[in-house]
Amino acid sequence: MRVSLLDLQAQYKQIQNEVEPLVLSVLRSGHYIMGEHVKSFESRVASYLGSKHAISCANGSDALYISLLALDIGAGDEVITTPFTYIASSEAIDQAGATPVFVDIDLNTFNINPKKLRDKISSKTKAIIVVHLFGQSCPMDEILAIAHEYGLKVIEDTAQAFGASYKKNKAGAIADIGTFSFYPTKNLSCAGDGGLISTNSDQLAARLRRIKAHGSERRYYHSELGVNSRLDELQAAILNIKLGLIDSWNAKRAENAEIYFKELASLEEAGFIRLPKVASYSTHIFHQFSILVNAETWEEAATLRNKLKEFLAENEIGSEIYYPVALHMQDVYKSFNYSAEDYPEAYHASQSVLSIPVHAELEKDQVLYVCEKLSEFFRVVLTSHSHCMHHKKDIQHTL
C-alpha cells in the first residue's frame, strides 16, 4: 500500500469540476491582478477569521516582511521568535534590518515557551513573532500579557494553522498582526505562492496595503518605499473555492490524528516515541502529525529517526523531518556562536522529530497501515538492537 505524505492530486479531484471552468473564465477575462476574485477572497477570509482587515500578498514570507516594515522595525531593533520553525520567520527579521532573538520551545507543543520570554527581552526588543507550528496555537494570553507589559508588538505566523482556534478566536486574528502562507503544502493552499496579512487596526491595514503596493495608495504617487507583493486572480479564485472546504478538511485531519493517538499509544507507553500533545486552550488542525523518536542521547535519536524514515520509505510511506536543523544551528547564524545547549528543546526536537501522513485525503486503512509499519519497525527492527534494552516494559506484551 502506498501512503503519500501529501496528496494534492487527490485533493484536486474533489474540486476539479469547479476549479477548471473558473480558472478558464479568469484567463479569458484578461484581468489577472487585483480583481474581483482577490477582493472576494479578502472579504471572505476576514469574515472567517473574525478579523477587521485581510490584506492579500504574494506569499507568506512577504507577509512577515511587510508586517515588520509596517511596525517600523529595522536596524538596531530586536525581534523575538522561535528557533524551531522554517527559516522564513527569522529571515524576515534579518531582511527588515533587525536582529532575531530566539526563545526555546515547549517540547509538548513545539511552540515558543512564554515562560522563557522575559529572559530574552531587552531595551532593543520591539516585537515577538510567534509561530503556530504544526497546526495549533501558541498560548496567546500569556504571550500578549508579557508583550503588553513591555510595550511590544506581536505578529502571529499562522502559515501552518489556518482554521485553528485559540479559545474563541481564530489563530492569526488574535495579536496585532497575523500572517498566512498559501503555499501548496499548507492546509489551505493555492496552485503556487500566495499569502495574507490580517489585522484589526485601521491604521496598520492602511499602511500594510500601501507597503505591499510600492508604498502607494494612488497609482504613480508614492509616500514611502514599499515592495511589490500581490496575490493574482487565478490563485484567489482557487482559494475562494478551498476556503469553503477548509473546515471539513481540517476535521478529517483531526479524525486521522485520533486514529494515530489510539493505535500508537502502546508505542508511547513502551517509551519508543512521544506523540504530539494537544493543548487545552487550542484546537489542532494537524497541518502535520509529528512524533518524537525516543533515545538516550540526541545523536542516537537522530540515527534512529533516520532509520525509521528509511523503513517507512521502503514500505511506500511518505514522511518528512520538519525540521532537521534548528535555526540557531544553521550556518547562516554561525556568527552568533550558538551551541545546541543554548536552546535544548528546539535542538532535541530537530534530532528526533518525524512527521507522518495525516492529510484529509487519507483513507482509514492507509492510516492503520502507517500504524502497523511503525509498530513493526520497533518490534522487529529494534528488538535486535541494544537500543531496546533500556526499556523496562515487556515490549512484546505492550505491542
137 lies in the same domain as 160: yes
239 lies in the same domain as 362: no
pTM: 0.95
pLDDT band at 133 (very low <50, low <70, confident <90, very high): very high
**More confident: 188 or 399:** 188
Q: Is residue 1 included in any domain, yes or no?
A: no
pLDDT band at 397 (very low <50, low <70, confident <90, very high): very low
Residues 222/216, Cβ–Cβ less than 8 Å: yes
- Give me the mean pLDDT over the 10-38 stretch: 96
Domain end call among 197, 216, 243: 243
What cell was used for 246? 477548509
How far apart are the C-alpha atoms of 170 and 46, rounded to whole Å? 11
What pLDDT score was predicted for residue 228?
Answer: 97
How far apart are the C-alpha atoms of 277 and 42, rounded to whole Å? 33
- Side chain identity at 4, as an amino acid letter? S
> What is the rounded average pLDDT for all residues in the chain?
95
Q: Does position 269 have pLDDT exceeding 50, yes or no?
A: yes
% of the chain surpassing 70 pLDDT: 95
- Give me the mean pLDDT over the 173-193 stretch: 98
Torsion of CA 223, 228, 230, 234, to 10 degrees: 140
180 lies in the same domain as 99: yes
How far apart are the C-alpha atoms of 5 and 323, rounded to whole Å? 15
Residues 79/131, Cβ–Cβ less than 8 Å: no
Q: Is residue 195 included in any domain, yes or no?
A: yes
Q: Does position 388 have pLDDT exceeding 50, yes or no?
A: no
Q: Does position 391 have pLDDT exceeding 90, yes or no?
A: no
Q: Does position 165 have pLDDT exceeding 80, yes or no?
A: yes
What pLDDT score was predicted for residue 385?
Answer: 58
- Give me the mean pLDDT over the 270-277 stretch: 96
CATH number where 322 lies: 3.90.1150.10
What cell was used for 64? 512577515
321 lies in the same domain as 306: yes
Q: Is residue 3 included in any domain, yes or no?
A: no
- Give me the mean pLDDT over the 83-99 stretch: 98
What pLDDT score was predicted for residue 384?
Answer: 64
60 lies in the same domain as 144: yes
Chain CA centroid to CA 279, Å: 16
Domain end call among 194, 227, 243: 243
The 10 Å CB-count burial string (b at 16+, else e) for 266-301 is bbbebbbbbbbebbeebbbbbbbbbbbbbbeeeeeb
Q: Is residue 187 included in any domain, yes or no?
A: yes
Q: Is residue 377 included in any domain, yes or no?
A: yes
228 lies in the same domain as 251: no
188 lies in the same domain as 312: no
269 lies in the same domain as 318: yes
Q: Does position 302 have pLDDT exceeding 60, yes or no?
A: yes
pLDDT band at 380 (very low <50, low <70, confident <90, very high): confident
Chain CA centroid to CA 131, Å: 7
277 lies in the same domain as 237: no
Residue 302: which of 288, 321, 315 has the closest Cα?
321
% of the chain surpassing 90 pLDDT: 94
CATH number where 157 lies: 3.40.640.10
Q: Is residue 154 included in any domain, yes or no?
A: yes
Q: Does position 396 have pLDDT exceeding 80, yes or no?
A: no
- Give me the mean pLDDT over the 289-298 stretch: 96
Domain end call among 190, 208, 243: 243
211 lies in the same domain as 237: yes
170 lies in the same domain as 189: yes
Q: Does position 169 have pLDDT exceeding 90, yes or no?
A: yes
How far apart are the C-alpha atoms of 247 and 184, rounded to whole Å? 17
Q: Does position 98 have pLDDT exceeding 50, yes or no?
A: yes
What pLDDT score was predicted for residue 262?
Answer: 98
Number of domains in the chain: 2
pLDDT tens digit string along 199-219?
Answer: 999 999 999 999 999 999 999
Q: Does position 392 have pLDDT exceeding 50, yes or no?
A: no
361 lies in the same domain as 253: yes
Residue span of the structural domain in which 333 resides? 246-398
Residues facing 128 on adjacent strands: 80, 154
Comparing 27-41, 170-184, 373-387, which segment has the lowest mean pLDDT? Answer: 373-387
How far apart are the C-alpha atoms of 4 and 165, rounded to whole Å? 27
Q: Does position 387 have pLDDT exceeding 60, yes or no?
A: no
Q: Is residue 2 included in any domain, yes or no?
A: no
